Structures are given as C-alpha cells and as structure tokens.
Amino acid sequence: MFRREFRFRRSWVAIIVLLVMDIVFLIPAISTFQQISGGMGGSNSLFDLVAVLFMSAWLLGWSLAPLVMTSILVVLVFGREVVRISPGLMKITIGLPFIGLTAKYDIESIRNLRTEQPVPKSGKSWRGPRFEFDFGANTVAFGSDVAAEDQFEIESALESAGGKPIRVGDARPDEIRVEWEAPPVEAIEAYVSDPTVADPPAGWLTPSTFALIIANLVPVAGAVFLGWKLSDVMVIYWAESAVIGLFNLCKIAVIGRWSALLAGPFFLGHFGAFMAVHFLFIYTIFVEGIDGAGASGGDLSEVARLFITLWPALLALLLSHALSFFINFMGKKEYQGRTVSQQMHEPYGRIIFMHMVLIFGGGLTLVLGGATPVLLAVIALKVLFDIRAHRKQRARGGQAAIENPR
C-alpha cells in the first residue's frame, strides 16, 4: 500500500495572531469560571443563585470564541492530509493525527490528475500548490505545497494500483450523478394540490391546540379552587418560557445537526441569562412584593416549595409543549425550510409579548388588591395569545413544507 502525508501549509503570522486573541478571550473566561466555582458553594439565596446562573450563561456563550479559536489553532498546527492508495482504491483522510474524515475514490473513475497553482487571496490559496483530479462531475483537491516529484509518486502509485494509466478527458455518462433534480411542473402541481402531501392549516381543535388550552386552564383551576395568587401564575408562565426554551434547543439540534454544537450553547447562554434575570424580577416584584422586595433575599427553600406547590400546572405545560414538538415539529416535519438562525430567534417574540401582557395585567391586579376577575382576565388573554401564536407557527410550518418539498 502507498501512503503519503501532506501537512497543512502553515502561516506562522496567522498562528501567532490567533494564539494572542485566544489568550485574550481565555483570561476573562477563566476568571469568570473561578467566580462561579467560588459562588456555587455559598449560594443560599435566590439572588446568589441568579448571579451564578447569569455568569454561567455568560460563560457558556463567551467560551464558544476561545473554543473555536483553539480548535482552529490545533488544525493549523497539526492538520494534515493522508493519501493511501491500494489496489483499485484511493483514500484521502483530512484532519488531525488520530482523527479525521476519510473519502474513498475508485481509481478507475479518477481523471486528469494535475498540479494547480492557487489564485492569490482565493478560498484555496491556503494550500499553496496542490493536486487536483476530476471524479465524476466534481473536482477534488488535496495536498499542500506539493512539488513535481510528489505528483510523479502519486501518478506512479495510482497507475500501479489501477493497472493502467490515469484517464484523461471527460467523464462517462454513467459517472455523473445529479442528486437534486428539479421536479417536472406536473409533479409540483400534484404536490401542491394533493391534500395528503401538504395539509391545509389545521382547525382549532387539533390535539396540540387542545392540549395547549387544557394546560392553560390548569392555572385557572388553581386560582379558583386552590387559591393560587398572581405571583403563582407569574411563576408558572415564567416556567413555561423555560419549557419553550428547552424545546427550542431541541429544534435547533434537529435543524442544525452538527452546527447545533455551536448554535445550541450560544442560544442556551443568551436565553439562560435572560431567564435568570427575568425570574429574579418576577420573584422580587410579584412573590415578595414591592414593599418587601429583597427582605428575605429569596431563600432557596422557599423558592423550591413554591415550584413544588405548582407542579400540576408545570407538568401540564411540559406535556403540552412536548406533544406539540412531537406531533407538529417532528411528525409534520415543520423543521423543513427552517434555518438555525430563524429557530434561535423564534421564541423571543412570543415570550416578550406574552410577558408584557402578564406584567401589565399583573400590575393592574396589584393596584386593585389582587382581584380574581382581573387575574382570570389576564389568564384568558394569555390563552388567546398562545393559541394565536400556536396556529401561526403551524401555518408557517405548512407553508415551508409546500415551498421545500423533500
């Protein structure tokens, strides 16, 4: 077997600049991590816990920059391509010494092996002089800073493994495969007109909408029969925002796949910081009350008891959003046509508007001395807004399925 290793072309100026930037970003990350480690052991109040959670969320988002830069540094310093040629087969592995991605090529289908000089400041200029060959309808590049003797070695190995000279010329028709072909007009018309392929927007009493209504009625029952106050309802809806964020993270993972490894932590850091500060605001104003704000410092045992008391509503909301995720997003393939960027921004509009309504109604309830009718009106407005937002998402998902048939 023939084996040849090509190290990536290195720019020591770029490596040094990137290393300096990486260190600059690592210093505040390490400092914040030390603060979090010191604060976790002494967190005995809500204020301390929120401070730790906020710093953790910030660190999660911030750490992506040094993580990416460190990964690039490792690739720049240790990256390489390994070419292996055996009878009938050529393998090119790109990556690090013990990890990489391997592509396999049938030697009989390799054509027009050549050495190419890079266009200055182009996307391939980092390689320097490189090898290229045609394979089907594609051009494959490999090697960095190659020389004439390197091409002679590769050509000799390929001819020896293939049993004949390397082909020159165009590809045969059977070697060109088009993965994505535009469907004929008749197929598009059939797709749009066939109700079994693209269903029209669902009615009001779909299973997910029904579950959403039931989940929103649990706080009503709690307010009427269990004496739940405005503060309890505000905490429930804060928790629903957290549930929305959780399933939005799942949606990002489904849409982005590997790219979600970067987008997910960034969303989690940004959304987590938002939720931590938001809960502190709700607890201070609505649970402890303006007059006694900060009096207890938000004892964590009291916060835990508050959530335990509200478990029926929390469970109902969790099940409602889980049902919508599996029936609509996964079952009806609403992820088709969606991008990670769109999905990252989706929950904020709904959550911000929803909480503006709740805070306005909550302020009115506080002014009126906790009037139950006003509290029920706030819940009713929230239910209507939830249903409207839910149906809007479903309609958008159906339209995406029509525009992006798979």
One domain, residues 205 and 259: yes
In a domain, 349, yes or no: yes
In a domain, 181, yes or no: no
Decide if 187 contacts 112 (C-beta within 8 A).
no
Alpha-helix residue ranges (DSSP H) falling in 101-229: 148-162, 185-193, 207-225
In a domain, 95, yes or no: no
In a domain, 286, yes or no: yes
Predicted local distance difference test score (pLDDT) of residue 397: 55
CA-based nearest residue to 328, from 387, 266, 393: 393
Which amino acid is it at 85?
Answer: I
One domain, residues 144 and 214: no
One domain, residues 111 and 19: no
In a domain, 163, yes or no: yes
Per-residue tokens: 276 = 């931590």
One domain, residues 220 and 361: yes
What gap in Å lies between CA 110 and CA 140, rounded to an integer? 10
Q: Residue 164: enclosing H or E segment and its boundaries?
A: none
Residue with tokens 């502190």: 280
One domain, residues 310 and 265: yes
One domain, residues 303 and 329: yes
One domain, residues 355 and 308: yes
What gap in Å lies between CA 23 and CA 11, rounded to an integer? 18
Residues forming beta bridges with residue 81, ordered by sequence position = 6, 94
One domain, residues 31 and 132: no
Write down which residue in 171, 198, 222 finishes a domain. Answer: 171
Decide if 389 contacts 283 (C-beta within 8 A).
no
One domain, residues 165 and 193: no
One domain, residues 141 and 194: no
One domain, residues 162 and 209: no
Decide if 215 contacts 319 (C-beta within 8 A).
yes
In a domain, 43, yes or no: yes
Structural domains in the chain (count): 3
In a domain, 258, yes or no: yes
Q: Order of strands across the sheet with 138-142? A: 110-116, 130-135, 138-142
Query: What pLDDT tens digit does each residue of the chain (406 aa) get?
Result: 899 999 988 888 889 999 999 999 999 889 888 888 876 666 667 777 788 888 888 888 888 889 889 988 998 899 999 999 999 999 999 989 888 899 999 999 999 999 988 887 777 777 888 999 999 888 999 988 888 788 889 999 999 998 889 999 888 887 776 444 444 544 444 444 444 444 444 455 577 777 777 777 787 777 777 777 777 878 888 888 889 889 999 999 999 888 888 888 888 888 888 888 888 888 887 777 655 545 555 677 888 888 888 888 888 888 888 988 888 888 888 888 888 888 888 888 767 766 676 667 666 666 666 556 666 676 777 777 777 766 666 565 555 544 444 4
Q: Residue 146: enclosing H or E segment and its boundaries?
A: none
Write down which residue in 76, 92, 121 finishes a domain. Answer: 76
Q: Residue 115: enclosing H or E segment and its boundaries?
A: strand 110-116
The C-alpha R_g of the chain, in whole angstroms, comes to 29
pLDDT digits (tens, 9 = 90+) for 23-56: 999 998 898 888 888 766 666 677 777 888 888 8
What gap in Å lies between CA 23 and CA 40, rounded to an integer? 26
Terminal-residue alpha carbon distance, the chain: 42
**Packing angle between helix 260-282 and helix 230-256, nearest 10 degrees?**
170
Predicted local distance difference test score (pLDDT) of residue 73: 92
Q: Is the pTM of this model over 0.75?
A: no
- SS3 at position 134: strand
Predicted local distance difference test score (pLDDT) of residue 405: 44
In a domain, 292, yes or no: yes
One domain, residues 235 and 288: yes
User: Do strands 110-116 and 99-106 pair parallel, antiparallel, or not at all (unpaired)?
Assistant: unpaired
Write down which residue in 171, 200, 215 finishes a domain. Answer: 171
Which amino acid is it at 220?
Answer: V
Q: Which domain does 249 fall in, by range?
A: 189-403
Predicted local distance difference test score (pLDDT) of residue 200: 46
